[in-house]
Amino acid sequence: MNRSERLRCWLREAIAYEPADLALFETALTHRSADGPNNERLEFLGDAVLGMITAQYLFERFTDADEGALSRLRARVVNGESLAQLAAGLELGELLSLGQGELKTGGYRRESILADALEALCGALYLDAGLAAARVAVLRLLAPALDSLTLPAELKDPKTRLQELLQARGLPLPRYSVDSVAGELHAQVFRVTCEVDPMAVRATAAGSSRRRAEQAAAACILEQLQGEP
């Protein structure tokens, strides 16, 4: 079985994908050290495709996570080490086309080469089938990393952390009330009070939206409760 046939079989078995233009995928798995077209341009495109698909997945899965938490979660998936581990687990290195120098030094196992090849593969998927089909295939590629992904407590927003803290103590959920809304429509300031009735704890905070004000008030309550002896 030649390389093209092995690559087609790999795409079918690894991500249940049937390529329309196999040459795209051959290029995606060709390192610059080899002769002919290489994967550097596809790597550039695939980096953007991979980042966007991962961002959408995280946005839909972790509905309570704020922007900072989502960014940190994405960084845990879309980084050189993680991508290289995924590529190695999929035995992608066996399909790489490398120059003699890289072959002699074990380039098919090198993290940077494996990660770049996986990104280039995502670029090829996008060009070959469009965004919708690429999303399905890319999520299959990322499944090992995404399935084990959890939202650590330090990445959760203040409202979620406060709710979990109160539930752990057997207490009812906090109450949020809007005290006032001031300013022009495009620059409103919301003042919100958060109260934990059984503990007689309350805090008021302001924000450019009701949600942000609630988060700020919840953060104040957390500071009070976590500072208790």
Q: What tens digit of pLDDT does each residue of 100-149 get? A: 888 778 777 889 999 999 999 999 999 999 999 999 999 998 998 898 88
Give pLDDT, residue 38. 94
What whole-number distance in Å separates Cα of residue 89 and Cα of residue 9? 16
As a whole number, mean pLDDT of residues 40-44 equals 97
Single pTM value for the model: 0.67
Active site residue 147: no
**Cβ count within 10 A of residue 214:** 24
Question: CA-CA distance, 8 to 29, in Å (whole number)?
Answer: 12
Based on the residue annotation, tell me whether 47 is a catalytic residue of this protein: yes
DSSP string, 162-229: HHHHHHHTTPPPPEEEEEEEES-GGG-EEEEEEEEGGGTEEEEEEESSHHHHHHHHHHHHHHHHHT--
The whole-chain average pLDDT of the chain stands at 90
| Domains, the chain, ordered by start | 3-152 (1.10.1520.10), 157-226 (3.30.160.20)
Check pLDDT > 80 for residue 97: yes
226 burial (CB, 10 Å; 0-12 / 13-18 / 19+) is: exposed
Contact 92, 29 (CB under 8 A): yes
Task: Using a pLDDT cut of 90, give the percent of the chain over it.
Answer: 62
pLDDT of residue 67: 84
For 100-111, write each residue's pLDDT tens digit. Answer: 888 778 777 889
Considering the candidates 26, 47, 102, 157, report the single residue annotated as catalytic: 47
Per-residue pLDDT tens over the stretch 168-191: 999 999 999 999 999 888 789 999
pLDDT above 90: residue 224: no
For the four alpha carbons of 164, 168, 172 and 176, in that order, the dihedral sign comes to negative
Q: Mean pLDDT over residues 196-219, rounded?
A: 92
pLDDT score of 206: 95
- The catalytic position among 102, 116, 119, 214 is 119
- Residue with more model confidence, 150 or 161: 161
